[in-house]
Amino acid sequence: MANKYKVNDKVIIISGKDKGKTGIIKKILHKRKKVIIDGLNVVYKHQKSIPSNNIIGGIIKKESFIDISNISHICNQNNKISKIGFMYKNNKKIRYLKLNKLKLL
């Protein structure tokens, strides 16, 4: 299956604890089908201090991965949810929004 999402795409979370919040994709793991969205799905990690590696212990806020099935793309013009499609122009595969046929970069 083709990769419909790319880094810096604007998405909305459609299920989970951050449902309805929007953000920008920061990192993608294609094989695991997971993404990190900037500022969302924040978890707390209890970090043990390791003096030999100069790591300070404490409670750290960290962004966690979200499954790709729990996000949807947002149109930049009208902020509506849209699916992503593919079409060929001049022998190039182009991503577009199915809502209004806008080309994605």
Q: What is the rounded CA–CA span in Å between residue 18 and residue 67?
A: 13
Select 10-79's CATH number: 2.30.30.30, 3.40.50.880, 3.40.50.720, 3.40.640.10.
2.30.30.30
SS3 48: coil
SS3 3: coil
Tell me which of 32 and 103 has the higher pLDDT.
Answer: 32
Give the predicted TM-score (pTM) of the model.
0.80
Ranges of each domain in the chain: 10-79
Q: What is the rounded CA–CA span in Å between residue 68 and residue 28?
A: 9
Q: What is the mean pLDDT of residues 93-99?
A: 89
User: What single-letter amino acid sits at 89?
Assistant: K
Q: What is the rounded CA–CA span in Å between residue 89 and residue 91?
A: 5
pLDDT digits (tens, 9 = 90+) for 13-45: 999 899 999 999 999 998 999 999 999 999 999
